[in-house]
Copies of this chain bind each other. A is one copy, B any other.
């Protein structure tokens, strides 16, 4: 009642209320060192009744340890990164580490800014999406002196550790599967984002596989913005009007693929006989559509888990050895839209 309105409580308040030194109060609150049961009781009671919340800012400064893991990702609004976060959380939940998320919107300048902000809090580790960063960002990552795990993609050289899949290979394998199934007139639809390197790599792997089979992409279209489902519809309608003899459509993500599928079904196309379809991501959300879209799982939750595992191992006392390059291998999910071989 006598505490001035807006001053937050300090250790000293708990110390005075319990008649125990600040140091011992600190020990009790952190379960460190030997404290007698009686003292412990007293302190805990005082802290609770006052409603004391420790000041981690002061604590971190004094101990030179911050139990934060910076997680830097491009977006939260598509299906993929929330699942990665779930994987990360699952692992960090059982540790004192706490994830803190920063969003880059696929913009390198924003990534740089977010990274700088994050580093200014001196986190214990960094998990960052992608292998492509500005020189300044890469310099910061290297200079930070803390574990850095680059995730999602393994087509490149990491600053430190990396966990992901090869998107180049994912595209290649899908291309091969499509050719093996006998499709030859192939259209591609994807996002217009020059900065989505993983989509780009899938596309490159895809065209490369086709080329090896003597096939060239017959038509392609890129979109940006808008609801993915309806974009998939529109683009598919456009493309089939423009190039009616296509026998396969490869979509850079499941959502536009689903839109395309719905449109084709309405038009009475025979899927996968007359025309085959495939997407990318293995989005669980889409289960329940009239057909299961052929796709490829991006191993999102596992990527999150493995990345967090690395951080946990490296920040353990004593620091554990940890693999620094983990390449997961996604498999094609045949679904109902890819003709069986």
Interface residues of A (CB under 8 A from B): 5-6, 8, 51, 53-58, 60-61, 66, 76-77, 82-83, 85-86, 89, 98, 100-101, 103, 116-117, 119-122, 139-140, 143-145, 227-233, 255, 259, 262, 266, 284-290
Other-chain residue from B77, B82, B98 in contact with A117 (beta carbon distance below 8 A): B98
Given contacts A55-B122, A61-B61, 14 further A-B contacts (CB under 8 A): A5-B145, A53-B144, A56-B120, A58-B61, A76-B85, A77-B82, A227-B284, A227-B286, A228-B285, A230-B288, A232-B288, A233-B288, A255-B285, A262-B290
Give the Cβ gap from A5 to chain B, nearest Cβ, in Å.
Answer: 7
A5 CB contacts on chain B under 8 angstroms: 145
A119 CB contacts on chain B under 8 angstroms: 53
Cα A287 to Cα B231 with chains together (Å): 9
Give the Cβ gap from A146 to chain B, nearest Cβ, in Å.
Answer: 9
A103 CB contacts on chain B under 8 angstroms: 89
Closest to A52 in B: B143
Cα A266 to Cα B288 with chains together (Å): 12
What are 5 A-B pairs at a CB distance below 8 A? A77-B83, A229-B285, A229-B286, A255-B285, A266-B290
A229 CB contacts on chain B under 8 angstroms: 285-289
Report yes or no: A54 in contact with B145, Cβ–Cβ below 8 A: no
Closest to A58 in B: B61
Report yes or no: B230 in contact with A51, Cβ–Cβ below 8 A: no
Closest to A110 in B: B93
User: Considering the complex of A and B, which 9 residue pairs feature the smallest CB-CB distances, nearest first?
Assistant: A229-B288, A230-B288, A227-B287, A56-B120, A77-B82, A6-B145, A259-B288, A76-B82, A230-B287
